[in-house]
Amino acid sequence: MRYINLSILIALICFSCKQGSEEAGSDTSNTQENVYDENSDTLKFPEEKHLRNVRQLTFGGDNAEAYWSFDDDLLVFQARNDAWGAACDQIYFMDPDNPPAEGTVPPLLSTGKGRTTCSYFMPGNQSIIYASTHLGDDACPPEPERRADGKYVWPIYEDFDIFTADLEGNILKQLTDDPGYDAEATLSPQGDKIVFTSLRTGDLELYTMDIDGSNVEQVTDGLGYDGGAFFSPDGTKLIFRASRPQTDEEIKEYKDLLAEGLVKPTDMELYVCNVDGSELKKITDLGNANWAPFFHPSGEKVIFASNHNSTRGFPFNLFMINMDGSGLEQITFDKTFDSFPMFSYDGKRLIFASNRNNGGTRSTNLFIADWVD
């Protein structure tokens, strides 16, 4: 799935940060009373020149994969938080300019049953798409036990299917019903196509479909995990993460894990292709885990999370790279974990998940920032 099980990952690499003060101002006009003061922007690191007016939106639990509505007024996200009664990931939404007060539970959009992942707004901003395991079992599916070989793995739950729901949490339609994993759905900015990851051929490949679930087309066919795909701003291309096992040993490991319903996400690079799968091109060759890519509003760059320059598995930070693989630039400078970036449709703001400012806990929270090119 696109969302790392952050509790397991954080436990493995001992994430910890210090919670700072919450700064709200988002008006960066040049009036005297609103002149930007970097010293008051306490939730950003000094090197983070592309971010301004960083604000924290959630406080506690594991919060990630926040994505904008088409009108940039709302955010839909997934969270696991025992204080909210969410023992595993469920889907919520909020107004980022008026987020729920600390300790307040935001509106729940998923059923509260099973486990969910990868929500996204549908055209019109009155409904969402997300994947859920609730048809298989009301309970949270079991998480993989720590392996004797020390490998960090993600579960690929076969009960995941893709649904649409309204903003009251009512399921409107089930879009997939093939046996096996169907999840990681996102929409084209044009609002006409959905891209998702499926195991229906026996390997984890990308597919597209119309927003009503019809006209399913296979996009990728290379052995390995293809996932976390997003459309370019003009809707003509896809950016995604992929593992590509090459040696006999790597291929055997991938297939053996997949037979157990698992994948190893620690060796992934970014690929781009046309929506029909043509002109497939690898754009990173950095090593370690490069994932959670999202197009810059220009369509000429990609922002993504990576630990490629880490020796202990962390930190993960956000980076930007040109579509030809040149011009790698570090965007965030956290000491632990930053990921899941998404630009607002107007290109003015960035939402991301981070372990910064969590008071020494393992909480992963959502942060919003004004974007400075």
Per-residue pLDDT of the chain (373 residues; tens, 9 = 90+): 544 444 434 333 332 233 333 333 334 344 445 677 777 899 999 999 999 999 999 999 999 999 999 999 999 999 999 999 999 999 999 999 999 999 899 999 999 999 999 999 999 999 999 999 999 999 999 999 888 888 899 999 999 999 999 999 999 999 999 999 999 999 999 999 999 999 999 999 999 999 999 999 999 999 999 999 999 999 999 999 999 999 999 999 999 999 999 999 999 999 999 999 999 999 999 999 999 999 999 999 999 999 999 888 789 999 999 999 999 999 999 999 999 999 999 999 999 999 999 998 999 999 999 999 9
- Cα Rg of the chain, angstroms: 19
φ/ψ of 18, rounded to 5, equals -115, 130
pLDDT of residue 313: 79
Question: In whole angstroms, how far apart are CA 171 and each of 117, 164, 193?
Answer: 15, 6, 20
**138 within domain boundaries:** yes
The Cα 265–Cα 300 span in angstroms is 26
**269 within domain boundaries:** yes
Q: Are 173 and 164 in contact (CB under 8 A)?
A: yes
Count CB neighbours of 114 within 10 A.
24
Q: Per the structure block, which two tokens stand in for 289? A: 């885990």
The Cα 195–Cα 209 span in angstroms is 7
Distance of alpha carbon 124 from its chain centroid, rounded? 22
Q: Which helix (H) or strand (E) holds 259?
A: helix 248-259
For 4, residues 6+ apart whose C-beta sits below 8 A from its C-beta are 64, 154, 265, 339
CATH of the domain at 244: 2.120.10.30
Spell out the long-range contacts of 237-240 with Cβ–Cβ below 8 A and sequence spacing 24 or more. 237/272, 237/273, 237/274, 237/275, 237/299, 238/195, 238/206, 238/272, 238/273, 238/274, 238/275, 239/270, 239/271, 239/272, 239/293, 239/294, 239/295, 239/302, 240/206, 240/270, 240/271, 240/272, 240/293
pLDDT of residue 4: 45
The Cα 153–Cα 230 span in angstroms is 23
Query: Position of tokens 């309204």?
Result: 166
**27 within domain boundaries:** no
Tell me the CB-side half-sphere exposure of residue 76, using CA atoms within 13 A: 28
3-state secondary structure of 120: strand
pLDDT of residue 18: 30
The Cα 316–Cα 230 span in angstroms is 20
Q: Residue 265 is which amino acid?
A: P
Q: Residue 152 is which amino acid?
A: Y
Return the ∠ at Cα 219 (arms to 218 and 225), rounded to 5°.
Answer: 100
**31 within domain boundaries:** no
How many domains is the chain partitioned into structurally? 1
Tell me the CB-side half-sphere exposure of residue 300, using CA atoms within 13 A: 4
Q: Are 332 and 48 in contact (CB under 8 A)?
A: yes
φ/ψ of 83, rounded to 5, equals -65, -20
pLDDT of residue 312: 80
**277 within domain boundaries:** yes
Query: Position of tokens 């051929």?
Result: 201
**330 within domain boundaries:** no
The Cα 89–Cα 3 span in angstroms is 10
Q: Are 188 and 230 in contact (CB under 8 A)?
A: no
Question: In whole angstroms, how far apart are CA 261 and each of 141, 148, 153, 302, 358?
Answer: 12, 17, 10, 30, 32
Structural domain span for residue 104? 6-21+65-315
**341 within domain boundaries:** no
**358 within domain boundaries:** no
Q: Residue 10 is which amino acid?
A: I
Maximal CA-CA distance, the chain: 65
The Cα 323–Cα 126 span in angstroms is 33
